[in-house]
Structure 1
Amino acid sequence: MVALAGPLLAGCERHDSATLGRIAEHAAGYALGGVAAHESERYLDHRNSGQSYERQLGGSQNIQHSGRMGLVFPETDALPNPRLTPGALNSAVTQTNLRETICRPGGYTRSIRPDEHYTENLKREGVRQYGYPQQMGKDAFMLRNYEEDHLISLELGGSPDSPRNLWPEPHHVIGGWGSYAKDKLENRLHSMVCRRRISLERAQHAIATNWIAAYKQYVGATPDQGRSHRYGG
């Protein structure tokens, strides 16, 4: 396999506001973009430096995996750009109505999840804004390398449709900090919020500011990349 001067090849798997009941952004609560942690600052440095991925990763590397071909990204791409994706909240979810919303029996997120056509269009635009590769094989192949993820997951009261809460999160990142690891954090924080072990606001702030740091605090030091059931991030 030939190493690329970009994300490395490896094996991998893979509105309307009226309809959603006027779900508003909760930007004033956190100023999330302004409190981005060190990894987010490194992301901006990486993007602004003009250096290639190969140079960021310390030279050519070969990564062998079985299965479909896909991309593996540098760790700086595990966190979203806080200027593009600071996070946004669903104003219908509050600490006082958890049992009627995200913690209700039978689930909640399916009732507010945006249409796939809407999120796919956002994903395409996000790939362009983030400067990710776009000219390698078919477009469908490229899009499979990302999940159009809610930074603050739906199960934690994140906005379903705000572009400020959605970004093309890579599935596979050097070190294991890809989308599947973030899924584990979302499930853990959801469980803690519903069991009243952590406040909704604290969980939202932790995952929006630096989800890797939150993972290490609430899940463990080593990322789990296995796919699992999700409540609906």
Structure 2
Amino acid sequence: MAAGPIPVGEGPQSKYRARQQPAAASCHYRYEHGEPLEDRSCTPGAVSPAVTQANIASTICRKGGYTGGIRPPASVTGKEKTANATSYGYTGPMNEAEYDHLVSLQLGGDPNDPRNLWVEPADPGHKAGAGVNNLKDPVETKLHTAVCNGKITLAQAQKAIVTDWTTALASLGLG
């Protein structure tokens, strides 16, 4: 269970820089329902101060998208992903893992706070060579839809995803 409020990051930046990652081998995956989850001490999540319940219509729920305009460039995230893989002891193929926002950008997650990013390995049973594939992405999309449709609050979605994305939908009655 996630404890306390979710940290608040810096939010979108006009120019991103590669951020320092946790020390090598200091983070450890945990597994729930057979799925890889982040180490809560290394990756507790972080939300963007630019996204609030009051402004979701003009940020995460606006037509035309929000995430593309705030996503850090690959020149930054590529360096971070490699360093974060070392933090987590990930040794699999990098093209089979996602440098994932724990609180997704579509849920108001901070774009480049190291507390909100982790190398997420492919799901168990994933076909090798098929690229990134994980079951967390559809959960994020369903939570985003529920927030934008007013079924749940932004804070509820954020709390559910950092607590355990594998149970987030069921915990909010969206299962």
1:75 to 34, 40, 43: 34
Q: Answer yes or no: is the 8 Å Cα contact 1:103–1:194 preserved in 2.
A: yes
User: Which structure has more helix as a fraction of its residues?
Assistant: 1
**How has the CA–CA distance of structure 1 residues 16 and 108 changed in structure 2, closer, same or farther, with 3 Å as cutoff?**
closer
1:219 CA displacement = 5.7
The alignment's TM-score, normalised by the length of structure 2, stands at 0.75
Alignment-derived partner of residue 48 in structure 2: 90
SS at match of 1:212: coil
SS at match of 1:110: helix
Pairing of 1:1-233 with structure 2 (within 5 A) = 18-19=13-14, 43=30, 75=34, 78-133=36-91, 142-173=93-124, 179-217=133-171, 220=175
1:181 CA displacement = 1.1
Whole-angstrom CA distance in 1 between matches of 2:155 and 2:60: 13
1:172 CA displacement = 2.3
SS at match of 2:90: coil
Whole-angstrom CA distance in 1 between matches of 2:15 and 2:137: 23
SS at match of 1:183: helix
**How has the CA–CA distance of structure 1 residues 106 and 18 changed in structure 2, closer, same or farther, with 3 Å as cutoff?**
closer
SS at match of 2:120: strand
Whole-angstrom CA distance in 1 between matches of 2:151 and 2:42: 31
The alignment's TM-score, normalised by the length of structure 1, stands at 0.57
**How has the CA–CA distance of structure 1 residues 42 and 85 changed in structure 2, closer, same or farther, with 3 Å as cutoff?**
closer
1:173 CA displacement = 2.1
The structure with the larger Rg is 1
Q: Answer yes or no: is the 8 Å Cα contact 2:146–2:152 preserved in 1.
A: yes
Aligned-pair identity (%): 41
Amino acid at match of 1:93: V
1:117-136 CA-partner distances (Å, limit 9, x unpaired): 211111111111111226xx
Q: Answer yes or no: is the 8 Å Cα contact 1:185–1:219 preserved in 2.
A: no
1:174 CA displacement = 5.1
Q: How large is the RMSD of aligned CA atoms in angstroms?
A: 3.0
1:99 CA displacement = 0.6
**How has the CA–CA distance of structure 1 residues 20 and 104 changed in structure 2, closer, same or farther, with 3 Å as cutoff?**
farther
1:171 CA displacement = 1.9
